[in-house]
């Protein structure tokens, strides 16, 4: 990503972080709509799962300009999700669910440029989570 794209995502994240609980809630609503069978992947403390989601998003956004740390975060995500044997279909559903959740949370502030830069950032991290 270009430095100005990274700054754009990081700047828009302030509005997202203020509503991180809403973001997590909307993400899972959209994910389960797109991929109903994904409900079975989540067992145990779902409140904790939502907190982990928003913490990982925050960590990735903070480190978009730090390739080494971002690679470490991506590797950790891949390792944490390896047992799920995720493929391209699941990855695409998750990416679309996160963009849809961002639309819900940011509303009109998620203009085309902001959405495009978020999509690039999400693809950069999420691409490491699928089986090959």
Residue range of the domain that includes 116:
3-129
Rounded Cα distance between 19 and 43, Å, is 24
What is the distance between the alpha carbons of residues 7 and 40, in angstroms, rounded to a whole number? 36
- Which CATH number is 10's domain given? 1.10.490.10
Structural domain total, the chain: 1
Go through 36-53 and write b for each residue having 16 or more CB atoms within 10 A of its CB, e for each that does not: eebeeeeeeeeeeebeeb
pLDDT in tens, 62-83: 888 998 888 888 888 877 776 6
Q: Which of 47, 6, 25 is nearest to 100 (CA)?
A: 25
Q: Please, what is the average pLDDT of the chain? A: 85
pLDDT digits (tens, 9 = 90+) for 14-66: 888 899 999 999 999 999 999 898 888 777 678 888 998 899 899 888 888 99
């Amino acid at each position: 990503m270009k430095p100005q794209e990274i700054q754009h995502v990081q700047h828009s994240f302030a509005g997202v972080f203020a509503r991180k609980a809403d973001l997590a809630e909307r993400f899972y609503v959209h994910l389960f709509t797109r991929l109903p069978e994904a409900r079975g992947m989540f067992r145990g403390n779902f409140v904790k799962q939502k907190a982990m989601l928003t913490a990982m998003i925050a960590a990735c956004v903070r480190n978009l300009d730090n390739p080494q740390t971002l690679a470490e975060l991506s590797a950790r995500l891949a390792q944490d999700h390896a047992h799920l044997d995720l493929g391209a279909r699941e990855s695409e559903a998750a990416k679309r669910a996160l963009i849809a959740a961002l639309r819900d949370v940011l509303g009109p502030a998620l203009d085309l440029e902001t959405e495009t830069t978020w999509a690039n950032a999400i693809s950069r991290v999420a691409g490491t989570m699928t089986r090959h």
